[in-house]
A and B are shown apart, each in its own frame.
Chain A
Amino acid sequence: MKEDIVVRFVGSAGDGLVSLGLLFGKILKKHNMNVLGFRSYQSVIRGGYNSYQIRFSDKEVLSVGEDADIIVLLNKHVAELHNPLVNSGARVIYDNDNIDLEELEYPEDIIKLSLPSVSIAKEITNIKVIKNSVVFGAISFLLGLDIKLIKEVIVEQYGIKGEEVIKINYEALDKGISFAKEKMWTPIWVKGKYEKARQMIIGGNEALALGMLSAGLKFYSGYPMTPATSIVHFLTKYLPKLGMIVKQTEDELAAVGMAIGAAYCGVRSATSTSGGGFALMTELIGMAGIEEIPLVVINSQRAGPSTGMATKTEQSDLFQVYGASQGEFPKVIIAPKSIDEAFLTGIKALEIAEKYQVVVIVLMDLYLSEQIATVKKLDFKRTNKRYAILEKAPKDYLRYRITETGVTPRTLPGTKEGMFFTGSSERREEGTSIASTLAGLPSTLPIRENMMKKRMRKMDVLLKELPKPEVYGSKDADITIISWGSTSNIVKEAITILNNNGIKANQLHLMYINPFHSEEVLKILKKAKETLCVEQNFSGQMRDYIRMKTGFNIKNSLLRYDGEPIVPSQIVNKVKEVVQNE
């Protein structure tokens, strides 16, 4: 019996693949399955070749899977293009009224399941999308799903559209099931009784947004850029209810500028973009750094350089964000690996930014931003706690007083007698510039030195608060695999496969990238019998980063930069190669 099932819907932009995938995800989630889904697409609005792959299991699901058990072809054009991607043994569902798999020379060893979904739907209604419910019906027969639970999902999703729509969908489902039964399709996954569950299915960007909302996000500005835009879409939907500002700006400079302005007023603020927009933001990021204004910037990485491949995933902006803006200032970098971590990161980013008055950069990547997955529960933080904000200005208030932690509590505009000047130039403790008429005077040299130390000190203090990196897996492994961001869960899946193959592997996932627990990481790496860094870029940025921070040279790298997420089998093969060569 299979541990998990992979279903792949293949269609064009305009076929409604995203809603199809999400609906199927919701049906599976209702069955208490763990689900992970990911859309592979192109930068076109109509046409093209897109697919939505969903994997589910009653066990943990860590990647979107490789070979599909069920492939649904939604039109003739994609049926032609998809041919080389069909693995043997797959069940291919297609509409034989317009697709001829013989003519398209599909491999012999697949199981062809013709389903005239359009004409079946026509027997019920003229509404075209109803064909999808026929398909769901047929698939649910293959997977032994509970029709009652599917119908519950239909009511939840379409209830608002009225009884007629529900009735039509029910009928289409039933017809899909009867068709599959009549044609004697063989079910491939029989679970028996399903337990109904209340869990969420949510995307990476939405989870990050929920995390930030949970931590009191009240201002968000952004300029549209894939794959970050869905954060703005999500927030915009609810803004009257949330009493927050969401602002689409004229460009990324304005986006980050407005977020900084709001943060200066004490509002928890953030902005998001991808690598290109981030490049535009960098000068102001440095300004927030020297002015010690809390700022959260999300960079959801996509394949570069320049416009690169706008709808494809990559982890190639580590050095861009690490080196962002001229000069040196404290800069926190967090890279979540999963939906849960994205939510947690949303909270942590806003809190750290305010507490330490620093720039926090959240490094997402397209694969995490756009995947959907089930989560049991998200723990909303329920607190109004603020950090380093003064309600009243003390008598001898100095906005940039040198302190032990580097953090100086600040007044917000509107606070009586709390007025101060801040600027992008180096300054004295009260805030005014030493960069013009005073620059280079012997008396200003120590001022500059102390201000630099004050700001940079915050990173040392913060590091003590950050969780130490931990190794996942067996202590006496033959190999330690290092990874970051969305790649880490794929590595985790590979580790299970390796263990089942008698190769002991463990994993070091790095979520907090700066400040960096250099000592602890070095300790872990020194203990490892063999090391392999897995990441989605050309040059091995994390491997180089670790070498820079620890002096340790990770011997092996697995790099993927063709735009598609790494798959577990690649990791397994690479590990075998490394371990055997020893």
Chain B
Amino acid sequence: MSNEFNFSIKDYQSDFKPTWCPGCGNFAQWRAIRQALVELEIPPEEVVLVSGIGCSSHMPNFLNVYGLQTVHGRGIPVATGIRLANPELTVLVYGGDGDIYGIGGNHFLHSCRRNVDIITIVSNNFVYGLTTGQASATTPIGTVTRTTPRGSIENPINPIAVAIASGATFVARGFSGDMTQLTNIIKAAIDHRGFAFVDVFSPCITFNKKQTFAYFRDKVMKVEDFGHDKEDFHSAMDLANRRILRNKLPTGIFYQIENTTTYEERDFALNQGIIPAKTDLELSDEQINAITEEFY
């Protein structure tokens, strides 16, 4: 981090104005991410934001950081490669429920267990927006969408429970209708050592007439308001599986443990302080001898 930090939230914004439908939940996240970076004083050149495909995945177009949009569902592995290549960077993944829980589901599982220090933020709107309203992995059973005109007949996944069960060390949920809380969650996620996962209730005002801002406002409840112990695995699971507060939708940090090592701390090169992106290409005589000896 640089000594003199004089960036404002505007400095993290590109000249390209967001193309989302006016009123889309993604706008709040666009703001919250920038706000968190400013408050944490992370200069734009040290931030890489990686996305996939979908409405939300357009995000890096609208930011003035190193932004990389991948193909559908592949943000997490590309971000992982970036972080391992240069652990000095703050690496965020941003995508939708279709992108990260659907087509990218396998990477999501493995990033949870792997504990590479990247931050994954999912704009969860329970529907496919960009392809004009089909069922997604989080669409509740019975929901009518363009691919489920008689109502969805599949159970949705529970991303919070999946993340905790898969070994994620930071699991949280935000709501696009609560900027302050969302910003604080993203800040905590960036500060967290290891993989951090934030699911965000983010209404799609065009294709989802059920999970609207009003719907969430009525249902959300902050975990801090009822004294949740975020370090306790079982309380976190109970909360995620709605064994408690059945009629509410809890937001905040469900689960966070700091007393475990990250992938970077376990890796045999990175734990020596090596930064692959800054390493000489040339091998030393000693290295050449080491790698060729077995062939003599």
Contacts and interface: CB of A to CB of B under 8 A. Distances in A.
Task: Decide if A and B are genuine partners.
Answer: yes
Interface of A: 156, 198-202, 206, 210, 213-216, 218-219, 221, 238-245, 247, 249-251, 253-255, 257-269, 283-284, 286-287, 291, 378, 380, 382-386, 412-425, 432-433, 436-437
Nearest to B80: A258
B116 to A, nearest CB: 10
Contact of B82 (A264, A283, A416): A264
Interface string B264-283: 00011110101011011111
B283 A423 contact: no
Contact of B77 (A241, A244, A253): A253
A417 B86 CA distance: 18
B276 A267 contact: yes
Contacts of A420: 66-67
B277 A383 contact: no
B277 A284 contact: no
The listed residue with most A CB atoms (<10 A of its CB), out of B58, B107, B269, B290, is: B269
Contacts of A414: 45-46, 86, 88-89, 277
Given A265-B277, A413-B89, A245 B82 contact: no
15 contacts: A242-B287, A243-B279, A244-B279, A245-B267, A253-B107, A260-B78, A265-B82, A265-B85, A265-B89, A268-B281, A283-B74, A417-B45, A419-B44, A425-B69, A436-B58
Nearest to A214: B283
B290 A238 contact: yes
A571 B25 CA distance: 67
Nearest to B78: A261
Given A262-B85, A414-B86, A423-B68, A437 B19 contact: yes
B70 interface: yes
Interface residues of B, number: 61
A384 B88 contact: no
B71 A284 contact: yes
Given A241-B290, A262-B82, A433-B58, 14 more contacts: A198-B296, A218-B281, A242-B287, A250-B107, A253-B107, A258-B78, A262-B276, A267-B276, A283-B74, A291-B68, A419-B44, A423-B68, A424-B53, A436-B19
B61 interface: yes
Nearest to B82: A261
Contact of A422 (B69, B277, B288): B69
A434 B283 CA distance: 43
A240 B89 contact: no
B81 A261 contact: yes
Contacts of A241: 287, 290-291
Closest 7 CB pairs of A and B: A261-B81, A216-B281, A257-B77, A423-B69, A258-B81, A262-B85, A254-B77
A25 to B, nearest CB: 10
Nearest to A249: B77
A198 B280 CA distance: 29
Contacts of B66: 413, 419-420
Contacts of A261: 50, 77-85
The listed residue with most B CB atoms (<10 A of its CB), out of A213, A250, A433, is: A250
